Structure 1
Amino acid sequence: MTDHPIRPFPSDEAVRHVGEGLLDRTLPKEDWTHEAHLASCLWLLRERCDVVPERDLPAIISSYNLATGGENTDSAGYHETLTQLYARGVRAFNATLPADLPLVDAVNALLASEIAPRDWPLCFYSRERLFSVEARRGWVEPDLAPAG
């Protein structure tokens, strides 16, 4: 995959803005970046105990996509396997952080970690399996290496 520079967040408020915009479906579509996906998941784990990412993100992301003019099809929009893999990875990463670490520092540490690159899922999945309709629609087990 193409190497993308890390775009860190400047403040706790910037992270919360993305997470809250996802939940209330007001975040502009162009702001729903890879970094925003990861930051939102970590924010949910650290500050929104009422939301369980593994359980709730499918509906949250799917409804956000529709609200911002996107779609959820066999080739675009919500992707279950990617969502669940990153939710697990972000949860495991969060467990390694001090509980009192400021949100922005936690998010930026996540963005600098080994799970942040867009091609991280390809450590576990072949492209064919990961980008299959089956993987988009439901969880599929990795075919290259176990996913934590």
Structure 2
Amino acid sequence: MIDGGKGYLKRGITCSSFTSVSINPPIISFCMKIPSRMHNLLQETKQFAVHVLNQNQVKYGLHFSKPVQDDINQFHLVPHELTPQGIPVICGAAGVLHCMAHSVHNVGDHAVWYGSVTQTNVHQSDIHPLLYFKRSFRSVGDEAFMNAFEERTLPFEDWTHEAHLRMAWNYIMKYGEQAEPYIKNGIQRYNEQNKHLISTGYHETVTKFYIHMVTYAINISSNPDITFEEFLTEHPYLTDRNLLFEYYTKECISSKHAANEFMEPDIQQLP
């Protein structure tokens, strides 16, 4: 996340293209689409801060990824401090690089900025950085995903079938047989937050079906310390959206009774 400031004006952007260019002297680079207000601000100030957000700061990554109007203060609800040069520094970031502009080059519809690192700050506590991969925020392990889900800041477009499986897997790995209420309550709270985007609501039978199937797959997995990605590689059938209909007829699943109460399969028994 890149930000800069000049007087009362403070701006930040979530940057998906960031690179270490040189160690001696320390120089970094990032790309920014042009034209943009942030690009104009940096051309004036020639200084900025690069933040490595921590795994619990998904909401800031999302916040600074959205376009804003000229009169909107992006930092109004973001805890931060100002450097003597007026650059906002977000509290709790895993690391911050204070930079002076080295050079900038326009390439196509983007500007490539190079910054000379003048100072670094690294959070001293044991926190993990926030990562972004395959259009989703992530971290070491699944902490970022689960934090975003529980805080209901996970983008709705990321709430895919695989995301449902990831959420269930995380809770089951953590709570075992006690995971079910965490999964159910989590889905219902997330659905409530995004009710304007959801065409069908919470479904009791579908939820309990996948809780059972994920639990069963975990129990028969060859490695108890398996990662979620390895888990799906070992049990790829879980990603098949038609798996449900190997056990239930569509008539059964589409019934109001199945939506409100768990129904046993009407094609074959669960494993």
Q: Counterpart of 2:190 in structure 1: which amino acid?
A: Y
Between the aligned partners of 1:56 and 1:100, the Cα distance in structure 2 is: 21
Which position in structure 2 is the counterpart of 1:42? 169
> Whose Rg is larger?
2
Q: Contact 2:172–2:215 at 8 Å: present in 1 too?
A: yes
Structure 1 residue 25, shift from structure 2 partner: 1.4
Extract unaligned runs of 5+ from structure 1. Answer: 1-6
Between the aligned partners of 1:51 and 1:23, the Cα distance in structure 2 is: 20
Q: TM-score if structure 2 supplies the norm length? A: 0.44
Alignment of 1:1-148 (within 5 A): 13=140, 15-46=142-173, 48-49=174-175, 52-70=178-196, 76-97=200-221, 98-110=223-235, 112=236, 114-148=237-271
Q: Contact 2:171–2:182 at 8 Å: present in 1 too?
A: no
The number of aligned residues is: 135
Comparing both structures, which one devotes a greater share of its residues to helix?
Answer: 1
Tell me the SS of whatever aligns to 1:95: helix
Which position in structure 1 is the counterpart of 2:12? none
Q: Contact 2:166–2:228 at 8 Å: present in 1 too?
A: no
Q: Contact 1:44–1:51 at 8 Å: present in 2 too?
A: no
Structure 1 residue 71, shift from structure 2 partner: 7.7
Structure 1 residue 136, shift from structure 2 partner: 1.0
Structure 1 residue 69, shift from structure 2 partner: 3.4
Comparing both structures, which one devotes a greater share of its residues to strand?
Answer: 2
Structure 1 residue 76, shift from structure 2 partner: 1.2
Extract unaligned runs of 5+ from structure 2. Answer: 1-133
User: Aligned-residue CA RMSD in angstroms?
Assistant: 2.7
Between the aligned partners of 1:40 and 1:31, the Cα distance in structure 2 is: 12
Between the aligned partners of 2:218 and 2:208, the Cα distance in structure 1 is: 15
Q: Counterpart of 1:143 in structure 2: which amino acid?
A: D
Between the aligned partners of 1:147 and 1:70, the Cα distance in structure 2 is: 34
Structure 1 residues 82, 13: closer, same or farther in 2, change over 3 A? farther
Q: Counterpart of 1:55 in structure 2: which amino acid?
A: P
Deviations along 1:82-112, one digit per CA (max 9) or x if unpaired, are 11000000001011221122343224434x2
Between the aligned partners of 2:170 and 2:139, the Cα distance in structure 1 is: 9
Stretch deviating more after TM superposition (101-110 or 82-91): 101-110
Deviations along 1:1-46, one digit per CA (max 9) or x if unpaired, are xxxxxx9x9x764743333222221111111000000111111122
Between the aligned partners of 2:228 and 2:268, the Cα distance in structure 1 is: 31
Tell me the SS of whatever aligns to 1:145: coil
Q: Counterpart of 1:101 in structure 2: which amino acid?
A: I
Which position in structure 2 is the counterpart of 1:3? none
Q: Percent same amino acid at aligned positions? A: 26
